[in-house]
Amino acid sequence: MATSHPDAGCDLKTPDTSRRPAGFLALPAELIDTVLSYLSPLELVKLLHVCHDLHDHAVKDIHWRRNVLSNIPVNTVQSPYPCSSWLKLFAAHHQYWFLTRNILWFCDRSLTGQMILVRYDQRRGCIEGYQLVATRGGDDDEPWLEDGDARIHHFKPLVGLHLDRPVLQFNVHSLDNLSRMSLSERSDRSDRRTRSFYPEHPIRYSNSLDPRFCTFVHAKPLDPEILSSRMGNRFPYGQVWPPPAIPARHRVLGNPGDIAGTPRSEVISSPTWRPSKRSEASDLTFRIRHWMELGPRAIGFHVGEELVTYSTLDSAL
């Protein structure tokens, strides 16, 4: 005679825990986002490739908006335009945001000098640097009390930016940025080269009539041993930039053309001075190499090549 099970007829089901998120992902979404807010951009990118759930959290605009705005001290940016998301805007300029974060840069042209201000133009999605210039505000003068024949000319400078000719310019829709895939769109191994670190890349000015050819060059900070062996010298201090009178966390090998002559190729080609990966690149110094080119691009040669090294001041100064 068949006997019935005690639970027969009861609609009891064993809970299915296989689909329930475990551990960190079991937390409420707002807590997960709070934890992710402590991660760096590189750490967020790594999370993109862990799983679908973490990918969805890591691509949220709240994280990438924060990373973009943290690099723009004058925080007036309201949208990621012209990009469709804050992640894509951050990725487009990921090698250049340190320029806007530090704003003020000065170079190793010892005789003429040059100071530039770098800013982000949200209308065009462009990072650009312009030379700071001072023009005379008038021709007022007065006689010198000690000698009436001598005149004292007042200098009331009008300080502004030389907007007609940018020193550097990086546009979201430039050719080099369009060829670089979005961090969130291509993740397979075969496309890792599209996200590689490039120590030198071209600067393409929006003015097509500009005759200059320019490249932006990342700099590698000097090792303490090399730095100590050079800093003991008298001017020009072993070509170290910035010079010892200026407090700086990073110093690199400069090459002022008016002292050292033509640029030395090893300054940007030797592994001693040239970073080979992102962690070796300084965020407090950089170089710009520019020249004129004669003849067709394929067979032309450089004329008047110049290598200029820039550094920034600590914000406390």
pLDDT digits (tens, 9 = 90+) for 252-308: 988 755 555 544 666 667 777 788 888 899 999 999 988 887 665 555 566 777 888
Helix (H) or strand (E) holding 98: helix 97-102
Q: How far is it, in rounded angstroms, from Cα 64 to Cα 83? A: 12
The encoded tokens of residue 91 equal 């990725």
CATH number belonging to domain 23-92: 1.20.1280.50
- Residue 190, SS3 per DSSP: helix
The encoded tokens of residue 286 equal 């950089």
Q: How far is it, in rounded angstroms, from Cα 75 to Cα 294? A: 43
Q: How far is it, in rounded angstroms, from Cα 52 to Cα 296? A: 50
pTM of model > 0.95: no
pLDDT score of 80: 93
Q: How far is it, in rounded angstroms, from Cα 123 to Cα 262? A: 38
Start-end ranges of CATH 1.20.1280.50 in the chain?
23-92
Using 50 as the pLDDT threshold, list the residues of the chain that sit under it: 1-2, 4-10, 12, 17, 175, 178-194, 262-263
